[in-house]
Amino acid sequence: MNQKNFKGLELPALGMGTMRLPVVEGDDSRIDERAAAEMVALAMENGVNYYDTAWGYHGGQSELVMGRILNAYPRNSYYLATKFPGYDLANMDKVEAIFEEQLKKCQTSYFDFYLFHNVCEMNIDAYLDESHGIHRYLMAQKAAGRIRHLGFSTHGSLEVIRRFLEAYGGDMEFCQLQLNYLDWTFQDGKAKVELLREWNIPVWVMEPLRGGQLARITPEEAAPLTALRPGETVSSWAFRFLQSLPDVVVTLSGMSNLSQLKENIATFGEEKPLTPQEWEALMEVTQGMLGKNVLPCTACRYCVSHCPQGLDIPTLLALYNEHRLSGGGFIAPMALMAYPEEKKPSACIACRSCEAVCPQQIKISQGLADFCKSLAG
């Protein structure tokens, strides 16, 4: 297993995410503990000794199960990461109680890595509100040795990340970022990595396969990639892309079975970053995928001044594109939680004034109506 140096630690290039552990009869809250233990055993044998869990994974069971499984191994033989669940605003005044409970659930006296979980539009104001004492408490735990390294994870916009860094960036040692070749452009991944670089903050990657989506690209999309690397799987291209980024330290993969784990261990057994020709081919495939699935809004904002409802149409269309490309998911609904009702897509009155000035000739009202329908389920 390739390793990356981080502050004197030799971390595995591949980490095991524990949000998609094997489950019993399709019930996400019933982890198949024996199967998960077999995966951890194989991971440990192959040098994959970084485990990322969280308060809410598997209905709160992930920390418990991983605590039991990892308790069979010497504490200094693995790295354990978990997070403060600020994705739920009801937790903001409970940082001490939650942290203490996490230590008990994970059967440990310290966390190697601890994160502000999912800094985003919905919770950025609360995270920055010092009255909750979250940052102050976590820094105190770090000083006490109960947190070895403090960072944050985010699905938020570039502006949200910038705000968080301006407040706490000097204390952040790493950022766990949704990053893959699709989101390099689609979610401003490139700009986010560059911003983190300005703060000397390395990147931990989550969603390298975008929830498995990049393992299921069409034969037509895969063809130019297979022609360049006949021996590589479609999934491995996503990891080779990340191996081409010097800012990336750990890539987390939420593996659900031994087969996925074995394939990823083989992929990360060697560094094979993309050549310039391969990078260009992958970006062309990416643009083709985006072109088929998203509305071509360029955020020129001509529409905004013509909207009698005062909607931020480009941002709403960007969220619609995210929701559409992901086939649902939580990112768009979560972002919309920060919006008042009169600024949500449902506030569109279909007057089509925006469409009259759209250079891209996008059927905006139709898109927003479809967005509302998909959000309603």
Tell me what the pLDDT averaged over the chain comes to. 93
DSSP letter for each residue of 146-208: SEEEEEEEE---HHHHHHHHHHHGGG--EEEEE--TTHHHHT-HHHHHHHHHHTT--EEEE-T
Domain termination residue (choose one: 221, 252, 282): 282
The answer on 196 and 77 residing in a single domain is yes
pLDDT at 293: 75
The CATH number given to whatever domain includes residue 172 is 3.20.20.100
pLDDT above 70 coverage of the chain, percent: 100
The answer on 338 and 213 residing in a single domain is no
Taking the C-alpha atoms of residue 259 and residue 273, their distance in angstroms, rounded to an integer, is 23
The answer on 48 and 189 residing in a single domain is yes
The answer on 205 and 124 residing in a single domain is yes
- Helices 189-198 and 158-168 cross at an angle (nearest 10°) of 10
pLDDT at 84: 97
In angstroms, what CA-CA distances link 323 with 75, 111, 188, 216, 326?
Answer: 40, 34, 16, 18, 5
In angstroms, what CA-CA distances link 270 with 5, 23, 246, 254, 288?
Answer: 16, 30, 15, 20, 29
The answer on 199 and 120 residing in a single domain is yes
pLDDT at 211: 77
The answer on 122 and 233 residing in a single domain is yes
15-21 mean pLDDT: 94
Let me know if residue 291 belongs to a domain: no
Whose tokens are 């986010």? That residue is: 192
pLDDT one-digit tens code per residue, 204-222: 999 898 878 888 888 999 9
pLDDT at 90: 92
Let me know if residue 294 belongs to a domain: no
Helix extents (H) in the chain:
33-45, 61-70, 95-105, 124-128, 134-143, 158-168, 183-186, 189-198, 219-228, 234-243, 258-267, 276-293, 313-326, 331-336, 364-376
Let me know if residue 292 belongs to a domain: no
Neighbouring CB atoms inside 10 A of 242's CB total 21
**Burial (Cβ within 10 Å: 0-12, 13-18, ≥19) of residue 227:** exposed
**Burial (Cβ within 10 Å: 0-12, 13-18, ≥19) of residue 146:** middle
Q: Could you tell me the pTM of the whole model?
A: 0.83
The answer on 315 and 259 residing in a single domain is no
Q: For residue 8, what pLDDT band results from cuts at 50, 70 and 90?
A: very high
Cβ neighbors of 85 (< 8 A, separation 6 or more) are 54, 55, 56, 91, 98, 117
Residue 297 above 90 pLDDT? no
Residue 233 above 80 pLDDT? yes
265-287 mean pLDDT: 94
The DSSP call for residue 273 is P
- Contact yes or no for 282/236 (Cβ under 8 A): no
pLDDT one-digit tens code per residue, 136-187: 999 999 999 999 999 999 988 899 999 999 999 999 999 999 999 999 998 8
The answer on 330 and 268 residing in a single domain is no
The answer on 330 and 213 residing in a single domain is no
- Contact yes or no for 139/175 (Cβ under 8 A): no
119-130 mean pLDDT: 93
Let me know if residue 289 belongs to a domain: no
Let me know if residue 117 belongs to a domain: yes
pLDDT at 290: 84
List, as own/partner pairs, every contact residues 286-289 make where C-beta atoms lie below 8 angstroms and the sequence separation is at least 24, other chains included.
286/181, 286/182, 286/184, 286/185, 287/185, 288/221, 289/182, 289/217, 289/221
Residue 271 above 80 pLDDT? yes
pLDDT at 326: 78
Residue 116 above 90 pLDDT? yes
The answer on 325 and 190 residing in a single domain is no
Q: Give the domain range for residue 81.
A: 3-282
Let me know if residue 157 belongs to a domain: yes
pLDDT at 301: 82
- Helices 313-326 and 276-293 cross at an angle (nearest 10°) of 100
For 119, the enclosing helix (H) or strand (E) is strand 111-119
pLDDT one-digit tens code per residue, 54-105: 999 998 999 999 999 999 999 999 999 999 999 889 999 999 999 999 999 9
Which token pair is 359?
């250079």
How many structural domains are present in the chain?
2
The answer on 152 and 206 residing in a single domain is yes
The answer on 359 and 263 residing in a single domain is no
pLDDT above 90 coverage of the chain, percent: 76
- Contact yes or no for 126/93 (Cβ under 8 A): no
pLDDT at 180: 94
Let me know if residue 299 belongs to a domain: no
Domain termination residue (choose one: 282, 315, 345): 282
